[in-house]
């Protein structure tokens, strides 16, 4: 990632914490089975994907490189096919499309960071790499993830009562903020 070392470490901590929490939810199986099998599968799939994204974001923030792009490009392709194939409820397809956009953004950032030279964690002191991405694409992704982070954040604030757990939504908002911050430094 291009930018200050402290920002890289803070982003890595945020992403690792969010991804770790989602991974813990998968292991623990905290998706609510009372909501029906479809919701349980969707929540579990979401937690797996969010764990992969969070841990990948943490790794990319500390050790940028083109090698991060390939697994996320493959994941994006699989999710795009699943979202566009028309199977499952509209909410599930939209959810997969969101994760496909996230995976594509991760692959794009890996390639852009590799092409820009320099890095926060591995660059030379006093040398700042130039952004390597396409300004229009970076801008579109910034708008998308900025809006997503605000939307999820507003849902966290709107949660009422003890029956609704706001932590998963807060993690999604944190992941959106993390993607937004990483795109700023792309």
The structure's pTM equals 0.81
| 78/72 Cα distance (integer angstroms) | 10
pLDDT at 159: 64
pLDDT at 99: 94
3-class SS of residue 134: coil
Ranges of the chain with pLDDT below 50: 32-38, 117-128
pLDDT at 72: 94
Alpha helices in the chain (DSSP H): 5-28, 37-62, 69-84, 90-116, 135-158, 167-184
pLDDT at 37: 44
pLDDT at 106: 94
CB-side neighbour CA atoms (13 Å) of 160: 1
Tell me which residue of 69, 73, 77, 71 sits closest to 115, measured CA to CA: 69
Residue keyed to tokens 């507003």: 154
Domain ranges of the chain: 5-184
pLDDT at 133: 85
């Amino acid at each position: 990632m291009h930018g200050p070392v402290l920002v890289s470490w803070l982003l890595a901590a945020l992403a690792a914490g969010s991804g770790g929490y989602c991974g813990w939810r998968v292991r623990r199986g905290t998706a609510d089975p009372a909501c029906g099998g479809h919701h349980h599968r969707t929540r579990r799939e979401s937690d797996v994907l969010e764990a992969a994204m969070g841990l990948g974001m943490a790794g990319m923030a500390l050790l940028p490189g083109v090698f991060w792009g390939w697994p996320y490009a493959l994941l994006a392709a699989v999710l795009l096919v699943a979202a566009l194939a028309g199977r499952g409820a509209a909410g599930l397809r939209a959810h997969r499309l969101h994760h496909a956009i996230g995976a594509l953004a991760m692959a794009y950032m890996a390639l852009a960071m590799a092409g820009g030279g320099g890095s926060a964690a591995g660059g030379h002191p006093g040398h700042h790499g130039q952004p390597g991405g396409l300004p229009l694409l970076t801008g579109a992704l910034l708008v998308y993830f900025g809006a997503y982070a605000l939307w999820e954040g507003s849902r966290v604030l709107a949660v009422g009562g003890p029956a609704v757990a706001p932590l998963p939504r807060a993690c999604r908002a944190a992941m959106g903020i993390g993607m937004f911050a990483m795109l700023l430094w792309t």
